[in-house]
Every structure is written in structure tokens, then in C-alpha cells.
């Protein structure tokens, strides 16, 4: 770049942002309309209507029931994300100087990444019981491999010229890991968590579905058993909102940590 | 200017490792010798592909030599083992590369302070020096900007003072101003001479631009095509301080230019 980047004028940016909000509302209206038509088509017994779902959602939220169950699911997904996310981020850093180790581990990691983790749910239930632990284990097993590969890609994309510059300036291995490799890998680590966290929430819900006495998956399961599709949809809506909220939180964190990135680049990714 | 030799390159040779099933790789550098005095501004002119960057990489100890040696302060510092290399030779050799290599996640100020930070030399005195350098190159007010918010010339200035701030005795410069427009380049050259006047570091400045070599240097070496060796040496008789913007008009410029151009293949 030979000239200073000139950001778009704020008025235009604001216009784009408003346009996006309006268009999103339009898409939402279309989706709800399709849903409503579907309800008319097959009957409210099989497919609950948007209105009934919204009413149930509000009712269950006000009674605290939905929040309580969503809280369990959130806790399981968050614990799984943390327990697996930390080693998944650290491992590629520790292995950075040991490419042979990475090569040895590679087929196992790819195997772990590719294995259908949800099929492990019955096993985890067997091992860890029907409490929170089995759900945390399933969420963790999903998060670990996604974050590991994302971080590994970030560590590998390291710009060696920056490392040489730092070495010449007198940087130690630790300085290089801390000041060059780490900040350079942060965008990839975020990309990994952005994919992993919705999966973690989904994994928790599905484990609850199989066997549980609490959580959003449990609500889905009992709703379906009672032919109460309204409750099923209300629980699914809650799980979806959980994913959206987690995503929003990560966007905010990312915007804060990646202030240094050119705006065009970050705008394309959000 | 003191006459003591600070750095000497003796019969340096470099060829890259042979690839399997190929011809033996040619010598990039062969029998190349020169020396730099303490406080001297030496410029090295050579055509593209003459191994200029390779030469500086060997001196900066980020690459090994195949033959010959580098002598720093009277002691040989050459090694053939890539793992024994000491990049920057314990902070005694600074290196301003062709690309600015600024850390994109650090502001201008934090990029300038980077070396001091990793050398654990960050204190009031060194901070004041960093601020002085930032002001000297006209970056005051841009301390909090990230590299992507700066112009090409500003990035070059940041890269320049990032090395100057920790005061290595020798600074290598590899066509640092090649990628900017002509007007900015002249301004950067003037800035560099102003900064050099403050400290009179030993500088080895590599360029393919004869005018630049004359404008900046006390002495200019001309490299031959591959395998590169010293083809000629020219003292630059233009007194300092020099006005880089009017360098063409200064006495001695035209004659020196003609002599160097005749030697550059």
C-alpha cells in the first residue's frame, strides 16, 4: 500500500448498516411467512404455528422454565468449549518447533476430527452418567478438533520475515511466540471458535435429547413425546438464540482484539 | 571520521544447496571482499539478481556463507552451521529490509519500541529517544496508528527508526526505499541522512539506484553480475551536509555518476 487507506465516509457506512438491518427484517418476515403457510398446509398438530411458538416461548421464559433449561445447556456447552478449547489452542504453539510430532499426530487428529462425535453420545452417557458431565464431554470432543486445526493453520501461516526481524532485534523464542506467533494466529483461533461454539451447543442439546432430565434437549424430547410441537419449536428457538448470542459475544471480543486489522478485511468476515 | 575498520568481508562465497538431480547450483557470490570503517556510510550498487540481499543476509547472520569469512571488530564471526547463526549478531547488526515487516497488530509507537521491549531496555531514557526519532521523521501524531492506516512512506520511516532506536553499531539496509514513489524516496533519503548525522552509525546500504548510492554514501561499491564480486569502488567527493533534492546539481555528482554507470553492467 503506498497511500493511507481512506475509509468510506461515516454517513455511507451508516446507510449500509441500516440497509442491512432492514433487509434482515425482510428475510425474517419471509421465513415466518413460509413457516405459517407450512402450518396451514399440514395442520397445527404436526407443525406448530409461529404465533403459538412465540406465545409459548414468552410464557415459558416468563415462568423461568426456559431460562433454567437454557442455562443448563449453556453451562454444558461453555464448560466443554473451555475444557477442550484451551489445550486445542496451546497444543499447536507447543508443537510449533516440533514438526515431526505434528506429522505423527496428524492422522490421529484428522481421524478425531472426522469421526462422527455425536455417535459417541451413548458411550459418554455410559461413562459419565446422564448428568451434565456426559454433555460437557460430548461438547468438548467436538470443540477440540475444530479449534486445534484452526489454530494449527494460524501458527503455520506465520510470516517468517517477521520472525527474522524479531530475532535480529534480539527476541527470544518466548518473545517470538508471544509477540509474533500468537497475535498472528488470533484471527484463525477466532475463526475456529466461531465454528466450534455452535457445534458445542448443538452437541449439548443432542446429548440431552438422548438421555437427560434437564436442558433444552430435554424440553425438545418431552415436547415431541407429548405431541406438543409448540414446545419443541420453543426449545429450538431458545437454542438458536443461544447460538446467536454466543456469536454476538465473539464478534464483540473479536472486534476488540483485532482492532489492528484493516476494516475492509474484517467487514467481509462479519 | 575514524579510520578503524569495523567490519570486513573476506573472500566471501555463497552457493545454495544443490537440489537432487539438478546441476550443481551456481555461485551467487564468489571471492567478494570489502571492509567498512567505523562510522562510514557505505553504499553498494548492483543490478537486480546480483546477490545483494544474500550478501546482507549473510552479514546479518540469517544465512550462512559457503566460503570466506566475516570479521567484526577483528574477530571472525563466520559459521557454516545454520543452527549456530546468531541473527543480528547479539543486537550489534541492525537490518532494515526491503519490506517494512512492521507488526500489523502493533501501533507505530509499539512497533518502534519492539526491539527495546524484547531487549528489556524500555525505560524513560529509551522512550524519550523513541519519541525524539518519531518527531524527527515527522511521525508525531501517528503514534497510535496501526500500520495499515499509514502511507507507504510513513511505514518506511517507522521501519527505519525501529532499527535506529536501539542503536546497533552497524545497520544494514536492503533497498529500503525501492517500493515508494520518487518524491517520497527523496524525502526518505533526506530523513535518513538527517538521522545518520545525529549518530553517525556505520551503514551498509544496498541499492540498484546509482543516484541513491551517490546521494547517501561516503563510498560506493559496484557489484558485478552473478557470481557477484566487487567490480569497482568509488569514493564520493560530495561534501556533507548534502541537499538530496538538488543532488544532481552538486559539484562532482555528474562525474561520479558517469564513472559508476560505466562499471555497472
Residue A3 lies in a domain: no
- CA pair distance B79, B141, nearest whole angstrom: 44
Backbone dihedral region of B61: left (phi > 0), alpha (psi from -120 to 50 degrees) or beta?
A: left
Which of the residues B91, B96, B105, B170 would you substitute to probe the A interface, choosing the one with the greatest number of A C-beta atoms within 10 Å?
Answer: B105
3-class DSSP state for residue A190? Answer: helix
Residue in A206, A193, A218, A205 with CA at minimum distance from that of residue A82: A193
> Are A19 and A150 contained in the same domain?
no
Tell me, yes or no, whether A253 lies in a domain. Answer: yes
Residue B39 in contact with residue B201, Cβ under 8 Å? yes
The reported pLDDT for the residue numbered B228 is 87
Contact assessment for residue B207 and residue B48, using Cβ atoms and an 8 Å cutoff: no
Task: Supply the pLDDT for residue A118.
Answer: 86
Strand B170-174 with B93-96, pairing? parallel
Q: Are residues A151 and A257 in the same domain?
A: yes
User: Are residues A222 and A126 part of one domain?
Assistant: yes
Residue in A2, A171, A262 nearest the CB of B152:
A2
Angstrom CA distances, A208 to A136, A203, A217, A228, stand at: 11, 9, 5, 18
Nearest to B166 among A169, A172, A183 (CB): A169
Query: Three cell numbers at B218?
Result: 561516503
Residues A33 and A74 in one domain: no
Pair A35, A52 in one domain: no
**Residue at A65 is within a domain:** yes
Residue A1 resides in a domain: no
Interface touch B118/A175, C-beta < 8 Å: yes
For residue A18, the enclosing domain spans 14-47
Q: Which of B88, B146, B179 sits opposite A169 (nearest CB)?
A: B88
pLDDT in tens, B3-42: 689 999 999 999 887 777 777 788 899 999 999 999 999 9
Give tens-digit pLDDT for A210-237: 999 999 999 999 999 999 999 999 999 9
DSSP code at position A93: H
A164 and A241 assigned to the same domain: yes
Average pLDDT, chain B: 91
- Whether A131 is in a domain gets the answer yes
Mean pLDDT of the B120-139 span: 94
Q: What is the DSSP letter of B223?
A: E
How many CB atoms are located within 10 Å of the residue A20 CB? 10
Residues of A in contact with B95 (CB under 8 A): 165, 168
Chain B residues within an 8 Å CB radius of A260: 104-107, 146-148
Second-level CATH architecture of B1-82+209-265: 3-Layer(aba) Sandwich (3.40)
Q: How far is B255 from chain A (nearest CA, A)?
A: 34
Where in chain B are the domains?
Answer: 1-82+209-265
Please tell me the distance in Å from A175's CA to the nearest CA on chain B: 7
B84 near A CB under 8 A: no
- Which residues in chain A have their CB less than 8 angstroms from residue B93's CB? 168
**B88, B106, B153: residue with CB nearest A170:** B88
Residues A42, A105: one domain? Answer: no
Q: What is the pLDDT of residues A71-93, one digit of tens each?
A: 999 999 999 999 999 999 999 99
**Domain count for chain A:** 2
Do A67 and A120 reside in the same domain of the chain? yes
Q: Which residues contact A24 (CB under 8 A, 6 or more apart)?
A: none
A63 and A169 share one domain: yes
My answer on whether A68 and A23 are in the same domain is no
- Average pLDDT on A177-195 reads 94
User: Is A138:A77 a contact under the CB 8 Å cutoff?
Assistant: no
Q: Is the pLDDT at B51 greater than 90, yes or no?
A: no
- Please give the pLDDT value at position A9: 66
Burial (0-12, 13-18, 19+ Cβ within 10 Å), B246: exposed
Please indicate, yes or no, if residue A102 is contained in any of the structural domains: yes
Do A34 and A54 fall within a single domain?
A: no
Residue A94 and residue A27 share a domain: no
Q: Could you report the per-residue pLDDT of B216-265, keeping only the tens digit for each? A: 999 999 998 888 889 999 999 999 889 888 888 888 899 999 999 998 87
Residues A164-190, mean pLDDT to the nearest whole number: 94
Judge residue A177's burial from the number of C-beta atoms within 10 Å of its C-beta, 0-12 exposed, 13-18 middle, 19 or more buried: middle
Q: Is A266's pLDDT higher than 70? A: no
Nine-digit cell at A53?
411458538
**Mean pLDDT of all residues in A199-212:** 94
Does residue A6 lie in a domain region? no
Retrieve residue A27's grid coordinates: 428475510
Would an 8 Å CB–CB cutoff place B165 in contact with chain A? no
Quote the cell numbers at residue B194.
538527517
Q: Do B114 and A179 touch (CB under 8 A)?
A: yes
pLDDT over 90, % of chain A: 79
**What is the average per-residue pLDDT within A132-146?**
96
Q: Is A22 on the interface with B (CB under 8 A)?
A: no
Q: Is A7 within a domain?
A: no
User: How buried is residue B158: exposed, middle or buried, by Cβ count under 10 Å (0-12/13-18/19+)?
Assistant: buried
Amino acid at each position: 500500500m503506498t497511500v493511507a487507506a481512506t475509509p468510506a465516509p461515516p454517513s455511507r457506512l451508516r446507510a449500509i448498516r441500516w440497509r442491512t438491518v432492514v433487509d434482515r427484517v425482510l428475510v425474517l418476515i419471509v421465513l415466518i411467512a413460509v413457516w405459517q403457510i407450512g402450518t396451514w398446509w399440514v395442520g397445527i398438530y404436526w407443525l406448530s404455528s409461529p404465533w403459538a411458538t412465540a406465545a409459548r416461548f414468552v410464557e415459558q421464559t416468563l415462568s423461568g422454565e426456559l431460562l433454567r433449561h437454557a442455562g443448563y445447556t449453556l453451562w454444558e456447552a461453555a464448560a466443554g468449549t473451555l475444557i477442550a478449547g484451551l489445550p486445542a489452542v496451546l497444543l499447536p504453539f507447543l508443537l510449533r518447533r516440533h514438526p515431526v510430532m505434528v506429522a505423527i499426530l496428524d492422522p490421529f487428529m484428522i481421524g478425531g476430527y472426522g469421526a462422527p462425535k455425536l455417535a459417541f453420545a451413548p458411550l459418554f452417557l455410559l461413562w459419565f452418567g446422564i448428568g451434565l458431565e456426559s454433555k460437557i464431554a460430548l461438547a468438548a470432543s467436538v470443540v477440540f478438533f475444530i479449534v486445534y486445526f484452526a489454530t494449527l493453520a494460524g501458527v503455520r501461516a506465520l510470516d517468517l520475515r517477521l520472525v527474522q526481524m524479531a530475532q535480529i532485534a534480539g527476541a527470544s523464542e518466548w518473545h517470538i511466540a508471544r509477540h509474533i506467533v500468537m497475535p498472528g494466529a488470533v484471527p484463525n483461533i477466532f475463526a475456529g471458535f466461531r465454528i466450534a461454539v455452535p457445534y458445542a451447543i448443538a452437541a449439548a442439546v443432542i446429548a440431552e435429547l438422548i438421555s437427560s432430565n434437564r436442558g433444552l434437549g430435554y424440553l425438545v424430547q418431552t415436547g415431541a413425546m407429548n405431541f406438543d410441537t409448540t414446545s419443541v419449536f420453543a426449545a429450538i428457538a431458545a437454542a438458536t438464540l443461544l447460538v446467536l448470542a454466543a456469536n454476538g459475544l465473539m464478534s464483540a471480543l473479536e472486534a476488540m482484539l483485532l482492532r489492528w486489522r484493516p476494516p475492509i478485511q474484517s467487514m467481509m468476515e462479519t | 571520521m575514524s579510520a578503524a575498520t569495523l567490519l570486513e568481508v573476506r573472500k566471501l562465497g555463497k552457493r545454495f544447496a544443490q537440489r537432487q538431480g539438478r546441476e550443481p547450483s551456481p555461485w551467487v557470490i564468489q571471492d567478494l571482499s570489502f571492509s567498512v570503517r567505523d562510522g562510514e556510510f557505505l553504499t553498494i550498487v548492483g543490478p537486480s539478481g546480483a546477490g545483494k540481499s544474500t550478501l546482507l543476509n549473510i552479514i546479518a547472520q540469517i544465512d550462512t556463507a559457503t566460503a570466506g569469512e566475516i570479521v567484526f571488530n577483528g574477530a571472525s564471526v563466520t559459521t557454516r552451521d545454520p543452527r549456530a547463526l546468531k541473527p543480528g549478531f547479539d543486537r550489534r547488526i541492525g537490518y532494515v529490509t526491503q519490506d517494512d515487516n512492521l507488526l500489523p497488530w502493533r501501533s507505530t509507537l509499539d512497533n518502534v519500541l519492539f526491539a527495546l521491549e524484547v531487549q528489556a531496555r524500555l525505560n524513560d531514557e529509551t522512550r524519550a529517544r523513541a519519541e525524539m526519532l518519531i518527531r524527527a521523521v515527522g511521525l508525531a501524531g501517528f503514534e497510535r496508528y496501526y500500520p495499515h492506516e499509514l502511507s507507504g512512506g510513513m511505514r518506511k520511516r517507522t521501519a527505519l527508526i525501529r532499527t535506529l532506536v536501539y542503536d546497533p553499531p552497524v545497520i544494514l539496509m536492503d533497498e529500503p526505499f525501492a517500493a515508494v514513489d520518487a518524491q517520497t524516496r527523496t524525502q526518505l533519503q533526506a530523513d535518513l541522512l538527517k538521522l545518520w548525522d545525529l549518530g553517525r552509525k556505520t551503514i551498509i546500504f544496498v541499492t540498484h539506484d546509482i543516484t541513491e548510492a551517490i546521494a547517501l554514501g561516503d563510498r560506493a561499491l559496484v557489484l558485478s553480475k552473478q557470481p557477484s564480486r566487487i567490480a569497482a569502488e568509488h569514493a564520493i567527493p560530495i561534501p556533507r551536509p548534502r541537499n538530496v533534492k538538488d543532488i544532481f546539481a552538486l559539484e562532482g555528482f555528474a562525474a561520479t555518476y558517469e564513472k559508476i554507470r560505466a562499471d555497472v553492467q
